[in-house]
Amino acid sequence: MSSIVLENYKKTMRDLSVDSTNKEYMTDSLVQAIDFDRVKDQFTSGIGYRDCKSPMSNDALYIDSDGTHYFIEFKNGANITPHELSQKNYDSTIILAMLLSEKLEALKDNLQYILVYNEEKNTEEFLIKRYVQKSKERDSIGKLFSKKANTTFVFFQQDFFKGYLFSEVFTLNKKEFQEMFVSKWERID
């Protein structure tokens, strides 16, 4: 479908995670991933001018040694909107499916989503108050089940995408991202 070679768009996770406004990095990892913002720009330039809003995209695409694809979105600020994240997920997934000439149903089995947020600007208490029905009992039960199931609690209303566009969905602070994914990828790369 397209002549875009994903490997030609690699950068370090550190560079992909930069918040250029505040000159802050969400990770210092030198693991290589695909700059999906640039891929999206190249892809849309090939379509030609359209009198509509340009698609949005996740920051990075990491492909591990077993072929699992991970879309990664880095959010350093406090104003994270679920609608914007959702739009990036839809647009990025459609673009990737077109580039790989795969059906969405087949793609989702090997596609996961990771949102990395700044826990200093988005405390767990703030996120629970903002995105979860207010109930101390529900929060306690949700956290307990997440711990027992060895999973993380998904914020920003992105759990909707699990089983729909992605096989797994994670919303992680910087430390959790480092521990759950980056440390593993650094051993492999």
Note down pLDDT in tens along the chain; length 189 residues. 467 889 999 999 999 999 988 899 999 999 999 999 999 999 988 776 566 678 999 999 999 999 999 999 999 887 788 899 999 999 999 999 999 999 988 999 999 999 999 888 765 555 555 555 555 565 566 666 666 666 667 767 788 899 999 999 999 999 999 999 999 999 876
Residue 145 exposed, middle or buried by CB count within 10 Å (0-12, 13-18, 19+): exposed
pTM of the predicted protein model: 0.84
Helix or strand or coil: residue 180?
helix
Q: How many CB atoms lie within 10 A of CB 131?
A: 17
Task: Quote the pLDDT of residue 150.
Answer: 63
Model pLDDT, residue 162: 92
Tokens of 25: 């990095």
What does the angle CA 165 – CA 179 – CA 189 come to, to the nearest 5 degrees?
A: 80
Beta bridge partners of 34: 10, 61
CA-closest candidate to residue 79, choices 20, 18, 26, 127: 127
Give the residue among 152, 157, 153 at the shortest CA–CA distance from 130: 157
